Every structure is written in structure tokens, then in C-alpha cells.
Chains A and B, each alone.
Chain A
Amino acid sequence: MEKFARFIHELEISNKTNDKIDAIVRYLDVAEEEDKIWLVALFTGKRPKRGINTKLLREWAIEIAGIPEWLFVESYHTVGDLGETISLILPKPTHHISKNISTWINELAALSKESDEAKKEYVLNAWDGLDVQERLIFNKLIGGGFRVGVSHKLLVNAIAKQSGIEANKLMHSLMGKWQPNETNYTNLINGLDVDTNISQPYPFCLAYPLEQEIENIGGPEEWQAEWKWDGIRGQIIKRKGELFIWSRGEELITEQFPELEKLKGMLPEGCVIDGEILALENGQVLSFNSLQKRLNRKNVSKKQMEETPIGFYCYDLLEYEYEDFRENPLSARRSTLAGLISALPENTTIFLSPVIEYNSWEQLANIREEARAQNSEGLMLKKLTSVYNTGRKRGDWWKWKIDPYSIDAVMIYAQKGAGRRSNFYTDYTFAVRDGDKLLSIAKAYSGLTDKEIREVDNFVKRNAIEKFGPVRTVKPELVFEIAFEGIAESGRHKAGIALRFPRIKRWRKDKKADEINTIEDLKNLLNSTRHADRTDKGI
């Protein structure tokens, strides 16, 4: 635990990617063999099963610290993290326990079957034998993730550096369904678990936003343009008679979308297709608002399936006849994919995402303006010669999104952020005018610089009117331009309107609170966008 605690501390205080990679390499150099696999597991979201309810942890911590519950809650609001709050309020340790990470994890796993009393005894003894940083790790092993700014890509690069194995192969080995208890570190990083696992997805190829003039990326004939669909990016795998659907977040989501199950009988063996899960009607794409009704549901009713049918738009072919197809140029992958889709029986579920015909960048720019009418968020530009990259690679794929909507609104509530921002008021609620009153319409917490956040924080501290738990009502004075991707009617919001992906575009220091937009402005916008969403039954 000492090594791991020191390692996590090093990761936390480093801001630079290379420092983080070096910290991981240093840890892997000294870590016990059986602890290494847990590093990979913890950093790729494979937490051990939660054996102890966090509510109990909280209860015991409050009891040991001898403080009232409300004071614990206040502390928690300042720290922004339950495991850390507990680690800080406990009395100083009286002895020191030294065990491997894997030992701690296995003991905790075994404990899950024990009585609450046995759990309590174990946890209290552990707390009393660990310093603040070690306690934090211990609490995180029980429940909660490690937010230390290590992406899968960074982890893979570090392991690649330490082991000498190619990053591409590692990414493939580390994604997917392995269990830390069923393999070991050496087998894992050498990909020995991969072949037996027919559900194994490929890492998604991602695009950078186009921030330069379109002319600078080359001639239009070198590029393939497609609509950028606003759904759930997914990978469909058909191998050995089985179908797997992965989301970009590396979750298996096969069961969430029963409509897609029929693809099992339709798709050829040994193929993997990259595409977008969308709400469709007669093959046409509906807005994300429609799709949202189908997300994160444990059970899907017949009615929901009828009202919001799901389909899949195919972008790319990653595996064909059990062959890794990613090294072929896009043009070749695309024509094979087109052939594959056209050979399927007629259906209303799986479609080839159309390629846009254009001759000049200017023409394409005009076509892009029509994106919203198609429920698309802009264009994707992919180099015809490009291979299917692992992760993000600058220059091969670009996303060229349309500009978001924006309105001016005034800040009315503020709340402290979590984690890194826990000491500052960083989460704001904004309102537009409704006659003489203000009507809250969105909550947003990104888009300001650190300096601006401090300024706003200062304003909140000086101008708080009322407290509701962690929320402060503030004098409606600061005006912000709020950008958002979409607008929909909503029964859950007081204003009757929900904005999609609202964020702060900029602080309008030049505007006063009486110059902000009105609820009528938003209703007009809603009406003007409604034609694009032909069947959204919510409206």
C-alpha cells in the first residue's frame, strides 16, 4: 500500500503527461507482480465489487470522529469526495499496517459475505493503521474511482514504455472483458487473453475538432465527408454466431437495444462495424432528445420501442471475414462496407451512413449549414487514404461541427464544484427574463478560465443572498453567453424548456442583467427548430 499511496500522490501532483507516464513506469518497476494487474484494473474502471455499503462507511467515520452528521456533510461539501473526507476527519492512526494492494482487495472481497459487525471491525482497524493518503486509497478500494487524470491512452503509453510492447496491441488487450482475478499481468499485457474473447472490440478512432481554415487541410478530392450524427457511437461485433455492441465508453450495451439483436442473424460472421446508434423513423435520423428516452434503461417496454425505434448508421469496417481490416485505406474499407450492407436483406435497422458528394470546400461549407435540418451536428472529414487509427490522431479525421446556439442569461445560483474545484463556486444556474421575473433555464459549469472562476467565486462570496444547503442564491448581476446544442420542450423544467449541453461561452461583462434574453426568445427558437424533429412525440 505504501508504494501505491506514494504513486497515487505523485500522479496527483503532476500536471504534465510525461510526468504521469514516468510515475506509472516508476511504480511498475517496483510494484509486486500481483499488484500490477490491479493498477490496470483500477485505472480502466474494473473496480472490485463494492463489498461494503458507503453509507455504512460514512456512519462509522462519523462515529469514530465524534462529530455531528451535519458537520460531516459540511466537510464533504468542502472536500467534494466522500473517501477523502473520511480519510481527513478520522483521528490519527495508532499503528501501521503494511499489506499489498492485492491483499487488501482480496480481503475486502472476502469481507463482502461477512456480517456488518465483522466489516466494521475490519474497516476500523484498517483506518487506525493507515495514514491519511493510505486511508484515501483504502476508501477508494471500497467504493469510488481514482480521479487522477489518467486516460486509457496515457495508461497504455506508460505500460508500453515500461514493457516495450506496442501501444496499439496493448490498447486492444486492455479493453474488453478480462477479469483481474482470472488472468495475470504478464498474460494480460501480452494479449494472451484476447483471442479467446470473441467480444473483444477495437479501440475507437476519434477525430479532433477542425480549428483551422478548411482550405489548409488539403484538396477536397482527398477527403470523404459524412454527416456527424448525434447519437451513441457504437461498435457492432458479429463473431461465432454471437453479437456484441460496445459503446465508446467501453461498455457492452447489447441488451439495451433489442432492435439491434436481429442483426445477429443478418450480419456475416467475423465482422466488426463502427457506427452510430440513433433513434430512427423510416430510416431518417431523429434528434438526440428522442434517443435519450431510450438510454440508461434496465428494461425496454414494447411501447418505448414502438415510439422510439432504434437503428444503426454504419461508418466504417474494422474487421471483415475475421481479418483485422483497420490497416486498409478508408476508401477500401468503405467500399467493402457498402458491399456488405447492400447484400443484407431489406430492413429498417441498419444503414450505411451516407457520404456527401461535393466538389469544392465552398460547396461543402454550404451543405454543412443544413446539418441541423437533418438532426446532425455538422460534418466529419476523413482522409481517403487514412488507416483506422487507435484513439485520436491529428490530421486524418476532423470533426467540423456547426456553431452552437447561444443566448445571454444571468447567473442566479452558485454551488461549489467537486474534486479539483471543491473550494470554489463553479457550478452556476442561469436564468432568462419572464416579464418582471427570472426563470431558470440551465445549469452550466465549464467554459471559464481559472482566473474568471476566481472572480466569479469572489462575487458569489460577496453577493450571496440566501443559502440552501450548498447552494447560494446570488444577486442577479453577472451576465453570461450560454452556448447549447439543442432545445426541447420539457415537463421537468420550470421553464418548460430543456437545453442540450449548455455551457458558458463567455462572460458578458459588457452586458447588464436587463439586457438578457427572454423566455419568449427561447420559445421562438424552439418553434423554429421543431420542423427538424418530425415525430418527437414529446412536443
Chain B
Amino acid sequence: MSIISFTNKGIYCPQGKFYIDPWLPVDHAVITHGHADHARFGSRHYLCHKFTEPILRLRIDPNLSISTLDYNEAITINGVKVSMFPAGHIIGSAQIRLEYEGFVAVISGDYKTEYDGISSAFEPVRCHEFVTESTFGLPIYNWLPQKNMFDEITNWISNNQLQNKTSVFIAYSLGKAQRLMKGLEGIAKLFVHSSINNLNKAIESNGIILPGTELVTIETSKADTQNQIVILPPALLGTNLIKKLPNPSVAICSGWMQVRGSRRWQAADAGFAVSDHADWPGLLSAIKATGAEKVYVTHGSTATFSKYLNEIGIESAEVATQYGKEDDEEVAEPKKEED
């Protein structure tokens, strides 16, 4: 039995007649989280976690037809029980659990297994079918524990301050930016770009309290930002806004920074392997915890990861999707023309 199929519009539940994270417009879309490759425009009705709602309204259209669920809350659509569990990826990110006649499928979207201090912590969900990402599906990706990573970052900031440098972080505006804000709260003043500020406001409209920040623009005086922390989205890497900051030292925060080649590739002064995706041990532990009979591997190292799962006795297939193409991890990728 199977209650999900993979179509040219996205992941489909035939029994429930709805799609999960479709990349083409459909009647009924269930959304795992607010990143643009998972939450696309054009569908008639959206179902998402309550924290994701304002993000969709901000990013897609304020007048969208949206209904929401909380974690562990369920509704039934055409006989299929739909519920949401924390994916630990970003604020509001959810694994979608589908149950039909005792058969359970979980679509995890993007996830990470370690608690990041701000997104609800990942919860493994037992199921028959599990859909997993594989962004970092190679054994070379082993993240440092969150605390050690932030110790390293904090050291870097202190060193910058000794040299009268302003610490600039390049981080995706939804997710990574808020995680950095939380982790660096109180160390120095936090400045953010307007795109991050807009998302912060959307997130806070749901009663979540984020650390206090100030807006940075091209007009912000150098005296204000000197020796402080500035968080900017990837699109601003190498732009005038950075050049106008006082003595900037730029760090990129992305899982790809684990490999020296990627660190050197970027025109940055530092690279920190901070990721909102599961690392290799994280992926394996999450999958084993589901007890799934069949694992579908989507975006990332799909072929490699799927082959490995089969070899260790977990039945797995790779699935082509449109996820990961506007990947939040692909820092500094120039905005594509068609977007």
C-alpha cells in the first residue's frame, strides 16, 4: 500500500486528493515550511503550520486562502488524517504525517535533528513511508554541536572587535538569520537588512519573541555599526551595502562551509558550517527512528544516499523533485533571471 505518489506537480496523496509542497498550482496544497522552493504561489488553498501562515502571506500574497494546524493537531481531509510534527528546520517547519486506514506516511520537507534554540525541536515520527531530504547526504558532513559552533563564532566576533572590525554574517533571511540573532543575542548590537526585518515582523505577529534588532541601510552611519554585528541575506554579498560598513569582516554561515574548497570559493573572510539541514548522522538517526519500510530520498545527494540506505537494509528510492533548486544553503547564488 502507498498513500503518496510523485507527480509532475509535486508529492500527491491520491486518497486525500491534495498535494504536499507542490511546485505547480493545485487546488489544495499542504506546506511543510515557508522557504520558496517548498511554498510556491498559485494554489487555491494552503494548509500549513500556524507559524508559517504570516510568512506565506508576506512572501506570496496577503489574501491567500490559508488554514493552519498546530504541532500534534490533526484534521481529516477526504478520509486522510493530516497532522504536523516539528521538523526543527526553521520556525514553523513541519513534518506532514498522513494516516489512511492505519497506513502512515511522513513527508519531512527539510529538517535537522539538533535543537537550534529557536525552531521547535525535531520529533521522530513512526511511519510506513518516509520522505527525506538529502542535502548533506554524505559522511563528510558532521556538524559541530550548536554550542561549540556558537563559541567559535563568538570568538571570531571578539577577534574582530579587537581589530576594530564589524562582523558581517551572510545568512538566509528566513531561518538562519533568526537562528543567528538568537545565538548572538547580547554579544553586540544586532543589525539586520530590511528583508530579514520584514520576516522578523511576520514571525513576531504570531506571538514569538525575537531578539531586538536595528535596521541597516546604505544610509546607516558608520559610528552606529562599528564593531557590531550585521546580518545580511546572500544576495547582498559583494554589494555596496557591505563596502559602506566600517571595516567589515564577512562570514558565510552555511553547511557547505564544512569543506575547505567551498570556503575558499566564496569571497568571504570566514565560513562557518552552520546548517538548518540534518548532517549525515542526523539523517541516518532520523530515518532509523521512523522505522519506515520505504524511504523516498528527495533533493540533495539523492542517488548516493538512496544507494547507501539500500545497502544498509533500508528500502529506498530516489525521487526527482523541484526542491533545493532555490536552496537556502546556496549562499551567494545570484538571483536567477526566471525568478
Contacts and interface: CB of A to CB of B under 8 A. Distances in A.
Interface of A: 12-15, 65, 67-68, 70-71, 74-75, 78-81, 84-85, 88-89, 92, 136, 417-424, 450-451, 454, 458
B336 to A, nearest CB: 8
Contacts of B301: 74
B335 to A, nearest CB: 11
Given A13-B269, A67-B139, 8 more contacts: A15-B267, A75-B138, A88-B141, A89-B140, A92-B142, A420-B261, A421-B261, A422-B262
Contacts of A421: 261, 265
B259 A422 contact: yes
Given A13-B270, A15-B267, A71 B139 contact: yes
B334 interface: yes
A62 to B, nearest CB: 10
B259, B261, B308, B334 pick with most chain A CB within 10 angstroms: B261
Interface in B249-266: 256, 258-265
A167 to B, nearest CB: 26
A88 B140 contact: yes
A75 B139 contact: yes
Nearest to A8: B260
A78 B138 contact: yes
B271 interface: yes
A85 B261 CA distance: 11
A190 B92 CA distance: 64
13 contacts: A15-B269, A68-B311, A71-B138, A78-B140, A85-B140, A88-B139, A88-B258, A418-B261, A419-B260, A423-B256, A423-B261, A454-B333, A454-B334
B304 interface: yes
B304 A420 contact: no
A121 B311 CA distance: 29
Contacts of B307: 70
Interface in B123-148: 138-142
Nearest to B301: A74
Contacts of B261: 79-81, 417-423
A511 to B, nearest CB: 19
B151 to A, nearest CB: 13
Contacts of A70: 307
Nearest to A80: B261
B260 A84 contact: yes
Contacts of B141: 88
B259 A78 contact: yes
B263 A12 contact: yes
A297 B120 CA distance: 64
A451 B259 contact: no
A41 to B, nearest CB: 22
Contacts of A65: 139
A420 B265 contact: yes
A246 to B, nearest CB: 31
Interface of B: 138-142, 256, 258-265, 267-271, 301, 304, 307-308, 311, 333-334, 336
Contacts of A75: 138-140
Nearest to A458: B336
A80 B259 CA distance: 9
A12 B139 contact: no
B164 to A, nearest CB: 15
Contacts of B267: 15, 450
Contacts of A424: 265
A88 B140 CA distance: 5
A420 B334 contact: no
Contacts of A417: 261
B260 A89 contact: no
Contacts of A136: 260
B234 to A, nearest CB: 12
B263 A451 contact: no
Contacts of A420: 261, 264-265
Contacts of A450: 265, 267
Contacts of B263: 12-13
- The 10 A-B pairs of least Cβ separation, nearest first, read A422-B261, A88-B140, A420-B264, A89-B139, A75-B140, A74-B304, A420-B261, A420-B265, A13-B270, A75-B138
A67 B267 CA distance: 34
B254 to A, nearest CB: 11
Contact of A84 (B259, B270, B308, B311): B259
A349 B261 CA distance: 46
A326 to B, nearest CB: 36
B304 A71 contact: yes
Given A420-B261, A420-B264, A88 B142 contact: yes
Nearest to A87: B140
Contacts of A419: 260-261, 264
Nearest to A422: B261
B150 to A, nearest CB: 17
Contacts of B265: 420-421, 423-424, 450
Given A68-B311, A79-B140, A423-B265, A12 B304 contact: no
Nearest to B138: A75
Nearest to A457: B333
A80 B263 CA distance: 13
Contacts of A81: 260-261
B259, B301, B333, B334 pick with most chain A CB within 10 angstroms: B259
A13 B257 CA distance: 11
B138, B256, B260, B308 pick with most chain A CB within 10 angstroms: B260
Contacts of B264: 12-13, 419-420
Nearest to A418: B261
A382 to B, nearest CB: 36
Contacts of A84: 259-260
A450 B258 CA distance: 20
Contact of B334 (A13, A80, A422, A451): A451
B46 to A, nearest CB: 27
Contacts of B140: 75, 78-79, 85, 88-89
A92 B280 CA distance: 13
Nearest to A86: B140
Nearest to B259: A79
A1 to B, nearest CB: 17
A67 B258 CA distance: 19
Contacts of B308: 67-68, 71
Nearest to B144: A132
A79 B261 CA distance: 7
Nearest to B141: A88
A465 B107 CA distance: 28
B306 to A, nearest CB: 12
A237 B142 CA distance: 53
Nearest to A424: B265
Nearest to B304: A74
A15 B267 CA distance: 7
Contacts of B271: 13
A136 B261 CA distance: 13
A25 B304 CA distance: 44
Contacts of B259: 78-80, 84, 88, 422-423
A79 B268 CA distance: 19
A81 B269 CA distance: 22
Contacts of B333: 454
A15 B271 CA distance: 12
Contacts of B138: 71, 74-75, 78
Contacts of A454: 333-334
A458 B271 CA distance: 22
B264 to A, nearest CB: 4
A84 B264 CA distance: 14
B334 A12 contact: no
B2 to A, nearest CB: 28
Contacts of A68: 308, 311
B297 to A, nearest CB: 14
Contacts of A13: 263-264, 268-271
A78 B140 CA distance: 9
A427 to B, nearest CB: 13
